[in-house]
Amino acid sequence: MAETSRRDLGIGLIGYGFMGRAHSVAWTTVGQVFELGMSPVRRVICGRDEKRTTAVAEAFGWAAVETDWRALIAREDVQVIDICTPGSSHAEIAIAALRAGKHVLCEKPLANTLAEAEQMAEAAAEAAQHGQVAMVGFNYRRVPALALARTLIADGRLGKVHHVRASYLQDWLVDPEFPLAWRLRRDEAGSGALGDLGAHLIDITRFLTGDDVTAVCGLAETFVKERPLPEEGISGLSGAGMGSDRGAVSVDDASLFVARLKSGAVASFEATRFATGRKNAMCVEVNGEYGSVSFDLERLNELELFERGSEQAGFRRVLVTEADDPYLSAWWPPGHVLGWEHTFVHELRDLVTSIRTKTPARPDFQDGLAVQRVIDAVQRAGEGSSWITLPA
């Protein structure tokens, strides 16, 4: 479809915490690095705490502040709603924004429940008929090395995929006195390590292989059952301001599961926030009949590639910083590596490009729904320690 002329694109961001800041950095950068054909304008940021929201607005150049997301959606100068809130509000905000004619970017996981995700996907499908774009924020699809790995697999370099191994390890909950933040409450977060970290593993497996999960079996564990309640208004990741009372942790600290894929391949997944010493260690390895590819987020500019029959024995290191590698034509000379924050810049480039060209964005809400189906099945499998088959 023909591209539209260059014009301003009003952005409204909901959420000022960790992820809101990451998105703010990306919105500040994307139009300076990539030629988008449109100009994203940071119109307004929204948060319930006006003082903290104002501080973030001033730090990142948001022109206005709202404390009610409904008022943000109603603004005529905003065309894109960027949702960086806890999962408990994703469905209500996203559906309202889509029905108001806005484009939507929603952080992962798509929703807290399968029913909510189904409603969001339905609303997105209806909005797509009017040219609206709805994308889920699985930012690791935008790591250049993982995008290259997807191409290698799609081009048949590994042959038929037999096995996927994926793990995501963090340790920020090891201290039993860490407060009961929103991420530790099912009513706010939906699940724990499974939704926070495992959702990334599920999506990146689907992205790399083009394959779907058909059945799962797993288990989950909560190691610290109660934690100190934070003082009123403290709900983020900071440990400061703890009160004397304690509350129940209602999500998993660790989730492990195995899966069958539609192609006949098998996969194993491990997500934990109790891996002492691991800060943000996401590793994915795909094994095929002709070769294997391995990725480590802590070395995100590299791939490890093994091709059977090559003269060189073992895996070889591939530095993914060349200008013709995914996303890198806009950045620095080869060898000048990128970082974690660049994944969000790439995500926004793809979102704006989809809006400008009036083409579907991926991962879309259907992709988010597919991940939610797996999360739901893993939760049910963990309750009964049995295999759960997903619907076709």
Q: How high is the pLDDT of residue 386?
A: 79
Q: Which residues contact 391 (CB under 8 A, 6 or more apart)?
A: 373
Q: Which residues contact 320 (CB under 8 A, 6 or more apart)?
A: 144, 145, 148, 301, 302, 303, 326, 328
- C-alpha distances in Å from residue 280, one per residue of 213, 238, 260, 275: 25, 17, 26, 10
Predicted confidence band of residue 313 (pLDDT cuts 50, 70, 90)? confident
DSSP assignment of 25-94 = HHHHHHHHHS--SSEEEEEEEE-S-HHHHHHHHHHHT-SEEES-HHHHHH-TT--EEEE-S-GGGHHHHH
Q: How high is the pLDDT of residue 391?
A: 84
**CATH code matching the domain that covers 141-342+370-389, chosen among 3.30.360.10, 3.20.20.80, 3.30.70.3270, 3.90.76.10:** 3.30.360.10
Burial status of residue 202 (CB atoms within 10 A of its CB: 0-12, 13-18, 19 or more): buried
**What span, in angstroms and rounded, lies between the C-alpha atoms of 31 and 316?**
35
8-139 domain in CATH 3.40.50.720?
yes
pLDDT digits (tens, 9 = 90+) for 267-278: 999 999 999 999
Q: How high is the pLDDT of residue 382?
A: 78
Find the mean pLDDT for residues 53-74: 98
Q: How high is the pLDDT of residue 311?
A: 64
User: What are the structural domain ranges in the chain?
Assistant: 8-139, 141-342+370-389
| Paired tokens of 246 | 């304690």
- C-alpha distances in Å from residue 172, one per residue of 11, 180, 232, 295: 32, 12, 21, 22
Q: How high is the pLDDT of residue 301?
A: 98
Predicted confidence band of residue 309 (pLDDT cuts 50, 70, 90)? confident
Q: Which of 171, 146, 388 is nearest to 284 (CA)?
A: 146
Sheet containing strand 266-272, edge to edge, reads 316-319, 302-307, 291-296, 281-288, 161-169, 266-272, 254-261, 213-221, 388-389
Find the mean pLDDT for residues 293-300: 98
Element housing 353 (H / E): helix 342-357
Q: Which residues contact 171 (CB under 8 A, 6 or more apart)?
A: 273, 274, 275, 276, 277, 278, 279
Strand partners, 112: none
Q: How high is the pLDDT of residue 368?
A: 98
Q: Which residues contact 324 (CB under 8 A, 6 or more apart)?
A: none
Predicted confidence band of residue 5 (pLDDT cuts 50, 70, 90)? very low
pLDDT digits (tens, 9 = 90+) for 123-175: 999 999 999 999 999 999 999 999 999 999 999 999 999 999 999 999 999 99
Q: How many Cα atoms are found within 13 Å in the side-chain-facing hemisphere of 290?
A: 9
pTM of the model: 0.94
pLDDT digits (tens, 9 = 90+) for 97-133: 999 999 999 999 999 999 999 999 999 999 999 999 9
Q: How high is the pLDDT of residue 388?
A: 86
pLDDT digits (tens, 9 = 90+) for 322-379: 999 999 999 999 999 999 999 999 999 999 999 999 999 999 999 999 999 999 999 9
